[in-house]
Amino acid sequence: MTSKLPDSGPSIFAVMTAAAIEHKAINLAQGFPNFDPDPRLRHLIAQAMEDGYNQYAPMPGWLPLREAVADKIGRCYGRVPDPASEVTITAGATQGLYAAIQAMVHPGDEVILLEPAYDSYLPSILLAGGVPVPVPLSLPEFRVDWDRVRKSVTPRTRLLITNNPHNPGGSVFTADDLRKLRDIVLENRLLLLSDEVYEHLIFDDRPHLSVLADPDLFARSMVTFSFGKTFHATGWKTGYIVAPASLTSEFRKVHQFNLFSVHTPSQVGLARYMEDQRVWDELGAFYQAKRDFFLGALAGSAFRALPCQGTYFALLDYSALSDENDRTFCLRFAEECGVALIPISPFYREAPPGMRIVRVCFAKTEEVLRQAAERMVSASYPDGP
């Protein structure tokens, strides 16, 4: 059979996690916390099963959870979306992104994506018959070159995909970025898919500038979020997408056949938990301390950290250590030095030549971060610094 995705193999996250397991390396590759969600939240989800919430949830999601999400958005971004017509619960952000792209992109439509890009965007565009138009972020800051984005718009451009805070770049939009984004979307009547899964993982007193705060931009946008990031529970694969009613109704046409509805007890437990928890208020400081601890511990190594303004990822330049390409370096490093990292080139269709940058996930306990940093320092200077 002819493959619909001939260039897709196992994701780099699966490859590097498998390498970590094989070599008993510390896994700083795939993005997930090595600590558990709040015991109270776990209890509430288990309790929901005991309470009999074990059959299909409504297609758009458990209404009290959609209400809790709308309330949270109101508190964070000053605009309360309508839980009935503008909020849909998804099976993680990945499924929301996929269904949104299927709903918005017709065969032959051009879709601008900013590279490096999260790995699910490209195959989702291709399966919709869309034409991906990659625009590189500037190096080494991983910022959007809006002039370049503007020049990439054609009469066939349907959708622009942004990710703020950015995985893997660690960069965060400024007010100027948001203004330029707004101008391009509104002037060209584009649709915007704004991936904001790291909304709360943002550092050094920066605000998260959500598309949801701008009514004109929101009118043309679908915005994805992930409970996995906010509640340290990536394995639950739960999230939500927020969009104006007209786009939400198109989204739900795809969602109901792509999934129908999300795991019911998780939704009931999350809704009960969110009644009186605002844990996201502390997330930025929580992860900022981890970033500072880990990058501080790496200061004596040959890895050079790039600025990290948000997400739980940091980028490290390893050019002082090796001239291998990033994939070879990561596989060898996991095997020989006992730390699994992520190469950046798989986030590009065609990576810039000679890029010697890897990504680390610092969503780990201090003990694990200390151990990993020790291995990375001694790998830098095998005969002692």
Catalog residues that contact ligand GLN under the rule CB under 6 A. Answer: 11, 13, 30-31, 167
Please answer whether residues 192 and 160 qualify as being in contact, where contact means their C-beta atoms are separated by less than 8 angstroms: yes
Per CB under 6 A, 94 contacts ligand PMP:
yes
Cβ atoms within 10 Å, residue 151 = 10
Please answer whether residues 89 and 269 qualify as being in contact, where contact means their C-beta atoms are separated by less than 8 angstroms: no
Stretch in the footprint of ligand PMP (CB under 6 A) among 2-10, 90-98, 317-325, 365-373 = 90-98
What is the radius of gyration, based on Cα positions, of the chain? Answer: 21
Query: For residue 217, how many C-alpha atoms fall within 13 Å in the half-sphere facing its CB?
Result: 22
Residue 58 token pair: 């409504």
CA neighbor of 242 nearest in space, from 82, 369, 355, 109 = 82
Per CB under 6 A, 130 contacts ligand PMP:
no
Pick the binder of ligand PMP from 27, 88, 163, 221 (CB under 6 A): 163
Per CB under 6 A, 228 contacts ligand PMP:
yes
Distance from C-alpha of 252 to C-alpha of 247, rounded to nearest angstrom: 9
CA neighbor of 48 nearest in space, from 256, 273, 198, 205 = 273
Residue whose C-beta lies closest to ligand GLN = 31
* Contacted by 30, from ligand PMP, ligand GLN, none: CB < 5 to 8 Å by type: ligand GLN
Please answer whether residues 140 and 174 qualify as being in contact, where contact means their C-beta atoms are separated by less than 8 angstroms: no
Number of residues located near ligand PMP, criterion CB under 6 A:
14
Stretch in the footprint of ligand PMP (CB under 6 A) among 125-133, 200-208, 231-239, 341-349 = 231-239
Residue with smaller CB distance to ligand PMP, 234 or 345: 234
Residue with smaller CB distance to ligand GLN, 224 or 248: 224
Per CB under 6 A, 31 contacts ligand PMP:
yes
Strands 131-136 and 157-163: unpaired
**Shortest distance in whole angstroms from residue 105 CB to ligand PMP:** 17
**Shortest distance in whole angstroms from residue 318 CB to ligand GLN:** 18
Per CB under 6 A, 167 contacts ligand PMP:
yes
Residue with smaller CB distance to ligand PMP, 357 or 379: 357
**Shortest distance in whole angstroms from residue 327 CB to ligand GLN:** 15
For residue 275, CA distances in Å to 70, 320, 357 come to: 12, 50, 42
End-to-end, the C-alpha distance of the chain in Å comes to 55
Distance from C-alpha of 229 to C-alpha of 238, rounded to nearest angstrom: 10
Per CB under 6 A, 226 contacts ligand PMP:
yes
* Contacted by 11, from ligand GLN, ligand PMP, none: CB < 5 to 8 Å by type: ligand GLN
Residue 378 token pair: 């001694």
Per CB under 6 A, 267 contacts ligand PMP:
no
Residue 186 token pair: 């509104």
Please answer whether residues 12 and 119 qualify as being in contact, where contact means their C-beta atoms are separated by less than 8 angstroms: yes
Stretch in the footprint of ligand PMP (CB under 6 A) among 49-57, 63-71, 88-96, 141-149 = 88-96
Pick the binder of ligand PMP from 81, 239, 265, 346 (CB under 6 A): 239
